[in-house]
Structure 1
């Protein structure tokens, strides 16, 4: 009887055993540390001893199975070649009995050899010998034809031979199931009997295509139900090849058909190919393969229907009819999910192609009106199509484009989910193209597109931004279309300005809508001026109303992005006004001055102080343009308007920030007048400009010295010296001519001696001057 201690006693025993184990572990760790130390001391000595060099085995570049397969392949090829040579060359030396006996015996012996080889587990050798045997059967067929059936029909004989060989090889591969070659080879040969039998029977292209498609169906069955992987792979390849050949033949028949009967025969082939593809998808165990084959089947069904529709309906209605066929694929529901998804893909492909066919009509409607730029106010078009194409060619078959676009949009809406958000572009395109497609009156077309803009702007406040950009594109198109007549232009531009302004007040997408509204307001101002018969430079004054409105609206807008968009659009409108007035100098000066006033008004805002610089530039430009208009050629008249404001700004800046450098505060302003005047002095024969410039430079120098400012001191002093040298230059030249030739070198030598003797003192003077300038601001 086994004794079981109480729990307390058992716990005590376990604790004692664990303590003994811990003690033993500590001893083993100590011993391990000692051994590691000892080995580290011995290893350097052992490293100095010469180590024996192990022989390096030569690298093998091929594996044993690979070598075996290569040898077997070469052997089989050589034997096959030998058999062919015997059959083709040496055949005539034997009688009929000898020929039959030799070929029969050799073929049977070769085909039987793999049985013994497989028993000895020589599978690769058996495969090679079996391949030789299959090749010999082909040679036997050829030899039999040459010996006994030379007078028979060649096509019929080939049909019989390929059928027989396919059956024999299949039986042979089934009997020797361990061999992988015979059954795939039989499947390849099985692709030939049906088309050969059809050709032998005198069948046409339709019969041959039907036979090939039936062969493809057989291949599909083998691929789906076959057990050996090599057979399934070969079956897939053969099914694709045979199916493609059959579909190509069906396409040729459909294109050659001139009536419903011929198109119907081609449609039957397409339907057969589609049935094979859908059946493949239905029974395929892989979902990706099922989806692809189902999609191909759906496209084949539509192609077959298209061949019939091509000869029964007009070209205008062909695309809508095909689109309906593609949409009908979505109605198939009681099928596996993979099949339904594949048919949905096929339907999407058909719908995409239909959309591509409608693109020329959309492009003609949206982009065609751009040509109105060079033909403004030429007269009321005949209809909406004439307005869009300017009397040009309407794309062929584009009359049904609105229906195609509407059907695609409806399908997307019905499918729901993520597809619904893609319904807006085709629906928009359908409505935009409709007036031109139906050749509605010009005014009706303008009204429809205006309503589209209003609807899209309303939708943009609650949906994705795509509605906003469609509204912008549509508005541009209707604006160009309206250029046909004066009244339409003024009305459309006014309406567009109001629509986008109202959309900007809603807050959503305000930066875009506000900018577009001001852009159309700019165009409206130009159109109003042109309608009044004003010259472009006078129209510029009217366009300036847009920058004024932008400057007044910006402080009342809360969103920073909208403020920036409004100001940028206003600035662009100002540039447009300047461009309109560029050929009239007095008006250009006025426009620049008014733009400067607008910029100065904007600079009053604390967050737009930088606009003050733009205002100063604009005022200066206005002054220069006015002086040029007055034909003033005095340099100082152009530079003093720059210098005075610049010095005032510099003074104010130093007053607010005393640490500002005098070069930053006064340098640009002083240089703006002193340097151009100094350049003008060089070509001025009069004495007044040098006198005034020298006096001004002296005054600037004294002010710089008094205030201890570098910029005035250096610039004023330099200009003063250069003016003085310019005025003394004639006298210096006369004095130099009066001196003997030895005097200048002597003076130069004395100068060098003096500088050399007092070199250190001169260095101290230079450092002192630099220190004095450095203490100046």
Structure 2
């Protein structure tokens, strides 16, 4: 009779602690093991860092033995090498199968062919099952890929052997359908494989396209087939959310964009080249569903919250990853969540909205005449801005729709800009034909050198719609002021183009430009914008008025008064004050020309402008004052240019400008203008002397020397530290040097006598007052004048001497200098010290 072992008997035979005590014992042992493991890992990390930082060369062995070979570091991980080998093996087997099918197929009978292909294909498709059971997933993927490629070869072999008379394109469509379904079923059956289902999705891109080609459906049918396929891809990309099916999702998204892109290009081309409304409607029937699909996809992508689902098991151990062998999957351990693949909703929404507007534009292009399709399409784009107000629309979809509307608005603006360019730059054509007679209307006035555009009416409508949209639809506080400025610019561009577009009378066009200038100056939105627009409009008005004499004088007078009145507003004065002076200058020139005056006499009238600038500038703010003075200086240059052909009148103009510069120099912060005044007075005197045909240089230099010396003396009196070269050098050089140059060309005696006497007097004064500049300049000129007077005698004396005398004299001189070298150096130092003590 067998003995029954009870728990009490076991407890009496072996000591077993109570469960609570045993649990505490296990916890303590686990903590000890964890601590020991942490120590080992830290030591391992330190050893790895030491080995990595060590020199790559072999270490010197002890006792002089042979150096141990350092193991080369692998450049690729074992799993990567494994995958490369498997892919290469699958590719080579596929190539071999293709070669067998295409080349060696004819050497076998029907039974042999079927047996070989069927057996190999069945074996390749069945092999992944045991491979997956053993955990060889990568090898199973490679063999499965070989099996899928063999099914394609089977389909080709079937057509060549049994269905050669059938249409190849239709057969390819059926074969692609069957293969897509078979691969999808195969991938579903073997869910651990990632390749079959994306491959099935790739094969599914072909059936509709091949069917359309086989049926000779034409461009519309082919585009429809591509768009339907892309719609199915988009649905698959949106509906497949499992992380395990991420490759399917990626393949579906790629197919949607790739196939859909080709379909959209074809449909857009059909819409752009549609010859009649019927063809445009058929193209729109292709584009509208595509737009709806894109917008729906963008809405779903942006509005659906995605949560990662746990993936399939199959995390390999660290040992198998480093050793390169496949290991069985660890059951019960979920894989990390795979990131879901999603296209950008903003880009997709932008694409969908653009396709919608393109469909509308294609229909409008063949329906509305004379370019009115562009304003109509712009209305559609503006209406699209109301779509973002739909409840619960995702933010990214809203932004995509808004960007699509903005893109169409920008294209419409570019389309309308040529009209503005003609209206803006056309008046400049009158610059080379002033007062040649008023044109028939405002359109002729701006088309002197440019053709008129046929779509002026629609372009005006575009400018008006865009201006209204910016003014009414932009409510954001940050962008409100900029939107109003943009609306003002667009409204101004439309108003500038209205006279020419409506072929208004020439005088009416001038009046409208004048009113537009006044309105722009009074524009309350962003004053710099209004001021710039007013200035541009006034320039257009001035050039447009050149066609007629009366119009020119009237327009310039009105602009001068307008900008002078606007200069009373301090914020406008930096622009309006110089503009008033500029138009006054133009008015003076035009008045002189209208009165039949010669240009030098007109210069006297132009002098009024710098005189007004000198009188008005001190009353303005700093920025406006500088701008006003610069404009006055430019007007002065204009006066000089007008008078340059008449010397007496030029002298009068220069002296008048000298008076104005002197008046400016009386202001404490404009003392530097005194130099300009002195220069202008000197130039006026020189021009007058030239008009009198005076050739003596002293007549030109003495009027400059005397004031310069007086100013130098005044400066030294105020600042005794001022050097003589600064105070007296320029004044003395202005007269002495030109007179010395003229001396060598003068054969008379008065100039040498006077120049020598003046140089002697200047030298004595320099020595008396110990001034370096008079002493050096006077002495140098005195010596050179004496040499000039003695030169003829020296030449005669040199001719009378024998040839050996000059070298002998030179040698004696060198000997004398060498003998008294030290004394000469001492004398030179003494002279240098004397000059150094002079000021």
Could you tell me which residue of structure 2 aligns to residue 451 of structure 1?
A: 515
Give the 5 Å matches for 1:209-220. Answer: 209-220=223-234
Shift of the alpha carbon at 1:257?
2.5
Could you tell me which residue of structure 2 aligns to residue 765 of structure 1?
A: 827
Cα separation, partners in 2 of 1:715 and 1:51, compared to 1, 3 Å: farther
Could you tell me which residue of structure 2 aligns to residue 235 of structure 1?
A: 252
Instruction: Determine helix, strand or coil for the equivalent of 1:315.
Output: coil
Could you tell me which residue of structure 2 aligns to residue 489 of structure 1?
A: 552
Could you tell me which residue of structure 2 aligns to residue 546 of structure 1?
A: 609
Give the 5 Å matches for 1:647-726. Answer: 647-726=709-788
Shift of the alpha carbon at 1:330?
1.1
**Are the counterparts in 2 of residues 432 and 449 from structure 1 also a CA contact under 8 Å?**
yes
Which of 678, 688, 697 is the aligned partner of 1:626?
688
Instruction: Determine helix, strand or coil for the equivalent of 1:242.
Output: helix
Once residues 528 and 51 of structure 1 are traced to their aligned partners in structure 2, the CA distance between those partners, rounded to angstroms, is 109
Which of 250, 253, 277 is the aligned partner of 2:267?
250
Instruction: Determine helix, strand or coil for the equivalent of 2:451.
Output: coil
Which of 498, 501, 506 is the aligned partner of 2:569?
506
Could you tell me which residue of structure 2 aligns to residue 734 of structure 1?
A: 796
1:101 and 2:115 equivalent? yes
Shift of the alpha carbon at 1:701?
0.7
Shift of the alpha carbon at 1:741?
3.6
Unaligned runs of 5+ in 2: 1-59, 304-341
Greater Cα shift, 224-233 or 161-170:
224-233
Larger helix fraction of residues? 1
Shift of the alpha carbon at 1:531?
1.3
User: What are the Cα deviations for residues 712-736 of structure 1, in whole angstroms up to 9, with x where unaligned?
Assistant: 0100000000000110011112222
**Are the counterparts in 1 of residues 346 and 397 from structure 2 also a CA contact under 8 Å?**
yes
Could you tell me which residue of structure 1 aligns to residue 439 of structure 2?
A: 381
Cα separation, partners in 2 of 1:448 and 1:759, compared to 1, 3 Å: same
Could you tell me which residue of structure 1 aligns to residue 415 of structure 2?
A: 357
Shift of the alpha carbon at 1:677?
0.7
Once residues 401 and 257 of structure 1 are traced to their aligned partners in structure 2, the CA distance between those partners, rounded to angstroms, is 23
Once residues 482 and 54 of structure 1 are traced to their aligned partners in structure 2, the CA distance between those partners, rounded to angstroms, is 98
Once residues 742 and 253 of structure 1 are traced to their aligned partners in structure 2, the CA distance between those partners, rounded to angstroms, is 107
Shift of the alpha carbon at 1:90?
2.0
1:479 and 2:542 equivalent? yes
Shift of the alpha carbon at 1:599?
0.6
Give the 5 Å matches for 1:182-221. Answer: 182-221=196-235
Shift of the alpha carbon at 1:65?
1.9
1:174 and 2:188 equivalent? yes
Which of 396, 399, 410 is the aligned partner of 1:338?
396
Which of 357, 369, 374 is the aligned partner of 1:302?
357
Shift of the alpha carbon at 1:340?
2.3
Give the 5 Å matches for 1:425-444. Answer: 425-444=489-508
Once residues 329 and 121 of structure 1 are traced to their aligned partners in structure 2, the CA distance between those partners, rounded to angstroms, is 56
1:413 and 2:471 equivalent? yes
Could you tell me which residue of structure 1 aligns to residue 429 of structure 2?
A: 371
**Are the counterparts in 1 of residues 426 and 450 from structure 2 also a CA contact under 8 Å?**
no
Shift of the alpha carbon at 1:288?
8.2
Greater Cα shift, 169-178 or 696-705:
169-178
Cα separation, partners in 2 of 1:113 and 1:288, compared to 1, 3 Å: closer
Could you tell me which residue of structure 1 aligns to residue 461 of structure 2?
A: 403
Shift of the alpha carbon at 1:394?
0.5
Instruction: Determine helix, strand or coil for the equivalent of 2:694.
Output: coil
Shift of the alpha carbon at 1:369?
0.9
Which of 141, 145, 149 is the aligned partner of 1:131?
145
Could you tell me which residue of structure 2 aligns to residue 326 of structure 1?
A: 381
Once residues 392 and 66 of structure 1 are traced to their aligned partners in structure 2, the CA distance between those partners, rounded to angstroms, is 69
Instruction: Determine helix, strand or coil for the equivalent of 1:465.
Output: helix
**Are the counterparts in 2 of residues 458 and 503 from structure 1 also a CA contact under 8 Å?**
no
1:643 and 2:705 equivalent? yes
Greater Cα shift, 93-102 or 184-193:
93-102
1:390 and 2:404 equivalent? no
Greater Cα shift, 569-578 or 745-754:
745-754
**Are the counterparts in 2 of residues 401 and 437 from structure 1 also a CA contact under 8 Å?**
no
Could you tell me which residue of structure 1 aligns to residue 30 of structure 2?
A: none
**Are the counterparts in 1 of residues 253 and 343 from structure 2 also a CA contact under 8 Å?**
no
Once residues 774 and 395 of structure 1 are traced to their aligned partners in structure 2, the CA distance between those partners, rounded to angstroms, is 80
Instruction: Determine helix, strand or coil for the equivalent of 2:567.
Output: helix
Shift of the alpha carbon at 1:693?
0.6
Shift of the alpha carbon at 1:392?
4.3
Once residues 752 and 88 of structure 2 are traced to their aligned partners in structure 1, the CA distance between those partners, rounded to angstroms, is 107
Greater Cα shift, 353-362 or 232-241:
232-241
1:121 and 2:126 equivalent? no
User: What are the Cα deviations for residues 282-307 of structure 1, in whole angstroms up to 9, with x where unaligned?
Assistant: 11138982222222112111211111
Cα separation, partners in 2 of 1:117 and 1:703, compared to 1, 3 Å: same
Larger RCO (alpha carbons 8 Å, 6+ apart): 2
Shift of the alpha carbon at 1:591?
0.9
Greater Cα shift, 747-756 or 354-363:
747-756
**Are the counterparts in 1 of residues 382 and 405 from structure 2 also a CA contact under 8 Å?**
yes
Once residues 167 and 798 of structure 2 are traced to their aligned partners in structure 1, the CA distance between those partners, rounded to angstroms, is 124
**Are the counterparts in 2 of residues 360 and 398 from structure 1 also a CA contact under 8 Å?**
no
Shift of the alpha carbon at 1:391?
7.1
Superposed CA RMSD in Å reads: 1.9
Shift of the alpha carbon at 1:55?
4.5
**Are the counterparts in 1 of residues 290 and 352 from structure 2 also a CA contact under 8 Å?**
yes
Give me the TM-score of the superposition, normalised by structure 2: 0.84
Which of 51, 57, 77 is the aligned partner of 2:91?
77
Once residues 54 and 453 of structure 1 are traced to their aligned partners in structure 2, the CA distance between those partners, rounded to angstroms, is 92
Give me the TM-score of the superposition, normalised by structure 1: 0.91
Shift of the alpha carbon at 1:50?
9.0
Q: How many pairs were matched up?
A: 728
User: What are the Cα deviations for residues 230-276 of structure 1, in whole angstroms up to 9, with x where unaligned?
Assistant: 22222222111221222222123224432221111111111122111
User: What are the Cα deviations for residues 303-362 of structure 1, in whole angstroms up to 9, with x where unaligned?
Assistant: 111111121111331221121121121121213332222111111111111110111111
1:595 and 2:657 equivalent? yes
Shift of the alpha carbon at 1:652?
1.4
1:522 and 2:585 equivalent? yes
Once residues 168 and 752 of structure 1 are traced to their aligned partners in structure 2, the CA distance between those partners, rounded to angstroms, is 118
Instruction: Determine helix, strand or coil for the equivalent of 2:135.
Output: coil
Once residues 497 and 295 of structure 1 are traced to their aligned partners in structure 2, the CA distance between those partners, rounded to angstroms, is 51
**Are the counterparts in 2 of residues 400 and 437 from structure 1 also a CA contact under 8 Å?**
no
Give the 5 Å matches for 1:741-756. Answer: 741-756=803-818
Could you tell me which residue of structure 2 aligns to residue 556 of structure 1?
A: 619
Once residues 556 and 322 of structure 1 are traced to their aligned partners in structure 2, the CA distance between those partners, rounded to angstroms, is 54
Once residues 144 and 163 of structure 1 are traced to their aligned partners in structure 2, the CA distance between those partners, rounded to angstroms, is 15
**Are the counterparts in 2 of residues 183 and 231 from structure 1 also a CA contact under 8 Å?**
yes
Once residues 54 and 371 of structure 1 are traced to their aligned partners in structure 2, the CA distance between those partners, rounded to angstroms, is 90
Once residues 478 and 206 of structure 1 are traced to their aligned partners in structure 2, the CA distance between those partners, rounded to angstroms, is 54
**Are the counterparts in 2 of residues 166 and 186 from structure 1 also a CA contact under 8 Å?**
yes
Cα separation, partners in 2 of 1:685 and 1:92, compared to 1, 3 Å: same
Could you tell me which residue of structure 2 aligns to residue 617 of structure 1?
A: 679
